[in-house]
Amino acid sequence: MIQKLLEENKKLKAKLKPKKSYVLENGDQFETLIQDLQKFKNGKSLRYFFERKNQKGDGVELVFKLNTLVTDLIEFKARANVDDEKVNSRISMDKGSLIKVLSEGRVKRPRGGDGIDTKPKGKKATEKTKTADSIAKGIEDLKATKQLIEKKIKEVRETPPAPATLPGFDPERMDKTIQR
């Protein structure tokens, strides 16, 4: 019994150990990157950092402005890869893509107090995305439908109207009403 508990304890401890990640394995390179980012200036101030009192209140700490760096990187990538007139649309697409990636699997608490939504948002692997072929087929189907509608409209316009008959005197009908 004790042996089983010790084995179970060992398994649980193994699950709690942090797995090696790319960031942990390359921490020294990230540290070098952060130091290099401190060289970027925006006038007299640092571009990607700002200073504030640390939580202990006895000194000053540098705070990293991640959003500014990401925004600048997206703009740099867009300007390096597309023409000047397409830069804004490329930046918008890249921001949308980043938002989508960062939002995957995120659990969001509803404001109505109906509990916690545990279903991850975003596109599932089983969902099909529209391909260029399916879009082209849809366009061809719409063109064919349009031609069919235009043909039917033309037929209706070309057919002569039925002759109008006005109600007149019908002796047989009069005889039936009188007999009743």
Q: How many CB atoms lie within 10 A of CB 129?
A: 6
Q: What is the DSSP letter of 47?
A: S
**pLDDT tens profile 37-68:** 999 998 888 999 998 998 888 888 889 999 99
Cα–Cα distance, 98 to 92 (Å, whole number): 10
Six-digit token string for 116: 């916690």
- Could you tell me which residue, 12 or 114, shows the higher pLDDT? 12
- Rounded to whole angstroms, the Cα distance separating 169 from 122 reads 74
pLDDT score of 4: 84
- The per-residue pLDDT for range 65-107, each reduced to its tens digit, is 999 999 999 999 999 999 989 999 999 999 999 999 888 877 7
16-25, 57-66, 164-173, range with greatest mean pLDDT? 57-66
> Is-contact 120 105, C-beta < 8 A?
yes
Q: What is the pTM of this model?
A: 0.49
